[in-house]
A and B are shown apart, each in its own frame.
Chain A
Amino acid sequence: MIREKISDRISLNISQTDKFKTNFLSIFFSVPLEYENATEYALLPKVLLRGSGNYPDMKSINRRMDQLYGANMSGVVLKRGERQVIGFMSGCLCNKYAFEKIDILKGLTDLINDLLFNPNLCNGAFLQSYVESEKKNHIDYIKSLKNNKNQYAVQRCREEMCKNEAYGISEYGSIEQTEKVTPESLYRAYKNFISVADIDVFFVGKCDKDVLTDDIKKMFSSLTGSRISFKPQIITSVSGVNTVTEEMNINQGKLTLGFRSGTTIYDEDYSAFSLFNEIFGGSPSSKLFMNVREKLSLCYYCSSSPEAHKGLLFVASGIEVENKEKAQQEILNQLEEIQNGNITDTEFDSAVKSLINAYSELDDDPYSLSLWYYGRFLAGNTDTPETAIQKIMSLTKEDVIKVSRNVVLDTVYFLKGVNV
């Protein structure tokens, strides 16, 4: 991935390859996560993708995409530490596989340019019908997050754990804030958003680099300003474990343990932490899988996943309600095992190889690769998958044990299945 600065706050990252039949283009906008703005910013991709100056409604946008051999584009809303990220991820067929001579990528970048910077306006505001309809969809979306119980239990744990921190603000904003949005307020938010956001563009595929660079430069030519100075808010100590139990009319209990991990992607020893996570609950040969699932037969899934930009670690599992204490105890036991230095050579080697393989496979997965690099760029981490592999290979058990000792339990969230 070659990174080029387009302006102070805009970068273009290109990975040239002809091994895919698809060209992948992703544009990420990042802003500080703030309660007053989060909702409107999260609504922006939804409203922008409803219509633009040249493609005034969804149908005309999608018809244009069809002409471009079914090109696709979707808006994503992410959270990276105390940053809210609004992304536009798109893909299109490489020109050489088209039936006729056509520049599909050029067509796509023109369309994206129109969608992002030439919105469909009425009297200096977004169209009321679009805004009202997307407000409704957005509220539905927030409400329906509970449909996926596995994710919902982790989301609730995160909210409870960080309720007094900026990180606790939902990247989707809130239902109350959504209700207050007007076409005028949203347009003001849009103007503000594009004038302050840090912008990083990722391309994976085959293109004429100069042409793409020119197109991207043109797309963002009206934007000035510099990068937002950003300082992550990391909490490493805990005063007492916060226990939250909620009931829902479901069959399976969902247990989530939220830890302060003490290590973030900003830190030198982040690779040691990644390796710790892999040993603890990152793969089917991890301690959690081998013990909580295979040995004790308590669950189908039990795994750990870090929030690298915030220094959090979540362990999630689905269990019988009456096994809650047993599962929790075993998860904590396994952590303690690592903290006490009980890692076998096999566990260590397996985790090393598993991570190396995961980093090596990134190269064949353009979306994951773009997100991987982007996450690191945000933290000023200049690793490539290759250098990340080098770092993993240089680690010892002691490095892992050391970072594991900073991991402390903060919140136990239990979504208790009850038959009402």
Chain B
Amino acid sequence: MNYTLKENKKINEKYYYFKHKSGLDVFVIPKDLGTYYSVFGTKYGSIDRTFKKDTDKEFITVPDGIAHFLEHKLFENEDGVDTFSRYAEYGASANAYTSSDKTAYLFSCTENFKESLEILLDFVSHPYFTKQTVDKEQGIISQEIRMYEDNPNWRVYFNLLRALYHNHTVRIDTAGTVESISKITPEILYDCYNTFYNPGNMVLCVSGKTTPEEVEAVCDKVLKECVPVKIERKYEDEPATVCQKNITEKLEVAFPLFSIGIKDNDVPLSGKALMKKQAEHDIILEKIFSKSGDFYNRLYNEGLINNKFSCGYERGISFAFADISGESRDPEKLLSEVEKELSGYIENFDLLFSDEDFETVKRVVYSKNVQEWGSTEDIANIFMDFYFMDGDMLDYPDIVASITKQEVKECFMNTYKKDAIAMSVILPR
């Protein structure tokens, strides 16, 4: 087998890539750390509600929350041995997560890496769903949903998605509702599984003291050659405008939480264009809203925000937005301050963003990304995240370093407009 080696000498990192004969893309990122970390992911999340295989006649629409439900159910095996117990035999620590556009299965370990990797590939490749086990899971996931209903940070985030998007399925809660998951049956689970869990739609990212040879041998043992499946996904048309300027919900909180979103309609992007854009947004947000900036310090001194204030650029397959979140006694006033700040930059970008500041901000963003290469967990997960967007984590620090101020300015002018802003607020009851 030929492995493709790619290196970034500046940050002293590299990876090996190979396409396994099953059709799976595999990335091995060697790291001289004691902890091995592997993540096996599929490009399938809560936004994939209507879809078909190329061999199917009709599109099907599945109950909300099914990608997440499927993630739970894969841990069950035909022989009745729970997957956690299988890992436990080798001491590995396992978990999984589902987001809007992907589902990921992972483990970390310090010994028995090959055995644990075999379990990972094996249980994800062998679905086993029965009516009885589906019913049982409904009780567990209902409690997970109830827990999130009481979680103000989650609610403020999801309400923001509902404010930003009219039709895009990202506005649906990842876990669905107690009602929607009650409609899930083993048959629908198999439909989803057979569509999205084929090697061509998946990736394996492994980081630790291992080699591509070692990883390939385990893949050979477990993964069969597969007929490629072509997936067609149907997403609703999404208008450029925000759906609602403001969504407010009352919960048991001490004082208001807010999340302000700036909808980015320049999607879907992939590959280098996407990474460039990510870097531009990272730089913009760092400049305008970071703790060393005028905005944060002025509002903190006025008591309008506290140190829970944060910002970030969120992007998934087919959606993207900037998110500014925190706690404030007066979210309305805060919103007008954000709008004022952004319009200030629209009028006087060059004046407000000096060349010296630009270089400093760039090095902060660059440094954060370089430091992500310190943990096998961060590496494998971030690597997968970039992969699903046809990006490459290894290129990212250089892309940040190469961004020009003019590019950042254009990105800012195109996106940070007043009518792209929506706000979600959680008020005390």
Question: Quick check: A356 and B297 within 8 Å, CB to CB?
Answer: no
User: Which residues does chain A contribute within 8 Å of B375, judged by CB atoms?
Assistant: 364-365
Does B109 lie at the interface of the complex (its beta carbon under 8 Å from any beta carbon of A)? yes
A-contact bits for B234-263, CB 8 A (1 contact / 0 none): 000000000000000000111101000000
Question: Quick check: A300 and B150 within 8 Å, CB to CB?
Answer: no
Question: Quick check: A353 and B90 within 8 Å, CB to CB?
Answer: yes
Considering only CB atoms, which chain B residue lies closest to A137 in the complex? B306
Question: Quick check: B297 and A57 within 8 Å, CB to CB?
Answer: yes
CB distance from A391 to the nearest CB of B (A): 16
**B1-38 with Cβ < 8 A to chain A:** 10-11, 32-35
CB distance from A318 to the nearest CB of B (A): 5
User: Which residues does chain B contribute within 8 Å of A19, judged by CB atoms?
Assistant: 32-33, 374
Question: Quick check: B292 and A133 within 8 Å, CB to CB?
Answer: no
CB distance from A418 to the nearest CB of B (A): 11
Return the contact of A350 from the options B88, B143, B297 (Cβ within 8 A).
B88
Does B376 lie at the interface of the complex (its beta carbon under 8 Å from any beta carbon of A)? yes
Bound form: Cα–Cα A349–B136 in Å? 27
Return the contact of B374 from the options A22, A293, A350 (Cβ within 8 A).
A22
Question: Quick check: B252 and A249 within 8 Å, CB to CB?
Answer: yes
Chain A to chain B contacts (Cβ below 8 Å), 5 pairs: A70-B367, A70-B368, A141-B306, A320-B146, A354-B88
Question: Quick check: B140 and A297 within 8 Å, CB to CB?
Answer: yes
Return the contact of A294 from the options B34, B82, B147 (Cβ within 8 A).
B82
Does B210 lie at the interface of the complex (its beta carbon under 8 Å from any beta carbon of A)? no
A-contact bits for B70-107, CB 8 A (1 contact / 0 none): 00000000000010110011111110000000000000
Q: How many residues of B contact A (CB 8 A)?
A: 68
Q: How many residues of A contact B (CB 8 A)?
A: 67
Question: Quick check: A66 and B360 within 8 Å, CB to CB?
Answer: yes
Does B144 lie at the interface of the complex (its beta carbon under 8 Å from any beta carbon of A)? yes
Bound form: Cα–Cα A284–B75 in Å? 11
Chain A residues within 8 Å of B, Cβ to Cβ? 19-22, 57-59, 62-63, 65-67, 69-70, 91, 93, 97-99, 129, 133, 136-137, 140-141, 143-144, 146-150, 248-252, 283-285, 289-290, 293-294, 297-301, 318-320, 346, 349-350, 353-354, 356-358, 360-361, 363-365, 417, 420
How many residue pairs link A and B with beta carbons under 8 A? The number is 180
Return the contact of B88 from the options A137, A251, A353 (Cβ within 8 A).
A353
Question: Quick check: A21 and B370 within 8 Å, CB to CB?
Answer: yes
What are the 9 closest A-B residue pairs judged by CB atoms, nearest first?
A353-B91, A297-B139, A62-B292, A350-B88, A70-B364, A360-B110, A143-B254, A69-B367, A300-B144
User: Which residues does chain A contribute within 8 Å of B327, judged by CB atoms?
Assistant: 140, 144
User: Which residues does chain B contribute within 8 Å of A356, judged by CB atoms?
Assistant: 91, 110
Return the contact of A20 from the options B93, B307, B374 (Cβ within 8 A).
B374
Return the contact of B254 from the options A97, A147, A251, A417 (Cβ within 8 A).
A147
CB distance from A51 to the nearest CB of B (A): 11
CB distance from B120 to the nearest CB of A (A): 15
